[in-house]
Amino acid sequence: MTFRFSPRPNRAAEIGWRDWDEKAFQEAQVADKPILLAISAVWCHWCHVMDETSYSDPEVIRMINDRYVPIRVDNDERPDVNRRYNMGGWPTTAFLTPDGEVVHGGTYVPPEAMRSYLTQVDEVWRTRKADLTQHVAELREKERDARAPKPGDLTSEIVDGVASLVRGQYDPQFGGFGREPKFPQPKVLRFVLDEYRRFGYPELATMLHKTLAAMAGGGMHDSVAGGFFRYATTRQWEIPHYEKMLEDNAELLSVYAQAHRTFPSAGYDRVVRDVIGWMDAVLWRDELELWSGSQDADEHYYVLDANERTKHVAPFVDRTLYTGWNALAVSGYFAAATALGDDRVGDRADRAMRALTKRMWDVDTTSLSHFVAGSGRALTDQLGDLAGYLAALLDAYETGRHPAALAGAVAVATTLRDRLQDREHGGFFDGPSRVEPGRLGVRERPLEENALAADGLLRLAVATGENEWRELAIRTLRSFVGEYRQWGQFAAVYANAVARALAEPIALTVVGPEGDPLAESLWRRARAATEPAVSVARIVPARDAERLRTLGFPADRSAAYVCVGTACSAPITDEASLARQLEETSQRHARAS
């Protein structure tokens, strides 16, 4: 692997960094040396500072090379390593035993402290190795016991409890959740928006408007080039941390697009176009028809006005293609195309969806790669990637322009079921079983990614009519009932999936020839639905004959059908009647919840 260091002058490359692999761990065991694990990211400001300071200090370089086996990991390329070893942020500086257990660690460590840590850990390892090994083993065992799955029943109290927690963490003065540093929390915002769509509580609308306006009007938004920085260092959203991530902007694009659909006069369409403008101009790779991963932090560049920026080189863009982030971007562009009624945005989403499938999905092995860099595709079947890709395929299917995406979604769900399912407790592991050193030898069950996977499976069950996927989703969600509270506001995505599971699914199907005026008008109204439990499908008899036979709707007339559970409406043949049916269905659903 080619290691990436700060773009500014530094000596970090003089350290004998190893890749994360079995060879490095074997070297540590044979040499009886502790491991220094550095987790960094190409966009990370403090990672760069550490390269320029601590890892450029001659004594630090000498001590690491003499007394440690140093391993350097890119956070974006190895989220599985980061999940198990992150010490609270980036950079992560972790001291490990030769078999991969954590001895000590933190984030940014300045040179003087780094020299001290290197000396102390080395001394403890040489003089008190047995005690240290026993201590870390005991701590690890306690962690395993604390995270043992505790299944339970799905109830509305789960959703209400998380909603209450989110309300309690809301900042009524400046918007957002918590104090500082303040992150945008797009999954929390989507939960709040969907709760508003379900129940119409005015205070939820207030929370959304305050937060969305504050983010778009504050320093976290780049008013010159567009897009959002990763987070704000102040409660007032004034001073950002200047990296710009595809992941964050894709999720915020979806939130603002969905907010515009629910609140069309609030002006969120301007923010949607702004984010798209930056993503198109900076991250889009036209030759590959996908988006790059991130743009570097540069606190000096981003404080310049538009004229001054033209005199400087823009911050570095990491051109690596990440599957999960691109899937989020596809979903964001599909949401934006619907919200704006802009076919050009939808066309870009179409192209990216096809490119994502072509480049990242291996049809022969039904396997999904995590990223593509110069060395090719790498790291397969990560839960976050599969969950994001499943959602993007379903979003594509619901546009009516990608009928084959439904079969693709079934294939992805099958991979989830067959390779990642925790058959003993329910839910999914974060990656497939494989031989890996350190803590990667034990698979984990992350809540957020499991919730996203379950949400996709619930949608797939409605789209296909195959109850197997719903049962798999329910079992997944039930497996986290005993532990979701410990995740705090990060359980919002879980609560949203539980809310979908508790609701009676609504399937809205429009049947009719392509280009038929009646079918197209009914389809426009169907696509305008914002009820969270609704799944939509466009069936063209000449194109989708097999699917139409499965559904059992007549092929010789244009009509819409609204099905709640297994009960379907009579054929609906005008927009007004469809609107009334949807309104009645939504009210019934809200009362039932």
Amino acid at the residue 216 = A
Is the CA virtual torsion 401, 403, 404, 407 positive or negative? positive
What sign for the dihedral angle of Cα 113, 119, 125, 128? negative
Inform me whether the pLDDT recorded for 191 exceeds 60.
Answer: yes
pLDDT digit string, tens, across residues 27-71: 999 999 999 999 999 999 999 999 999 999 999 999 999 999 999
- Whole-model pTM over 0.85: yes
d(CA 404, CA 401): 9
**pLDDT confidence of residue 587:** 75
Per-residue model confidence as pLDDT tens digits over 311-350: 999 999 999 999 999 999 999 999 999 999 999 999 999 9
CATH superfamily of 12-146: Glutaredoxin (3.40.30.10)
Give residue 146's pLDDT band: very low, low, confident or very high (50, 70, 90).
low
Q: pLDDT exceeding 90 applies to what percent of the chain?
A: 92
Q: Using 50, 70 and 90 to split pLDDT, how confident is the model at 593?
A: very low
Residue 590 pLDDT: 55
State the helix-helix crossing angle for 129-146 and 111-127, rounded to 10 degrees: 100
Position 140 scores a pLDDT of 77
Confidence of residue 591 (pLDDT cuts 50, 70, 90): very low
- Residue 378's region, left for phi above 0, alpha for psi from -120 to 50, else beta, is beta
Tell me phi and psi for residue 241, to 5 degrees: -95, 125
| CATH topology agreement for domains 156-502 and 508-592 | no
Peptide bond into 91 cis (omega under 30): yes
Give pLDDT tens digits for 75-119. Answer: 999 999 999 999 999 999 999 999 999 999 999 999 999 999 999
Q: Where are the domains of the chain?
A: 12-146, 156-502, 508-592
420 touches 73 (CB < 8 A) = no
**290 has a pLDDT exceeding 70:** yes
Architecture of domain 156-502: Alpha/alpha barrel (1.50)
Mutual orientation of helices 343-360 and 383-397 as an angle, nearest 10°? 140
Q: Which fold has domain 508-592?
A: Glutaredoxin (3.40.30)
485 in Cβ contact with 146 (< 8 Å): no
3-state SS class at 403? coil
**Residue 66, amino acid:** D
3-state helix, strand, coil in the chain (%, to 5): 55, 15, 35
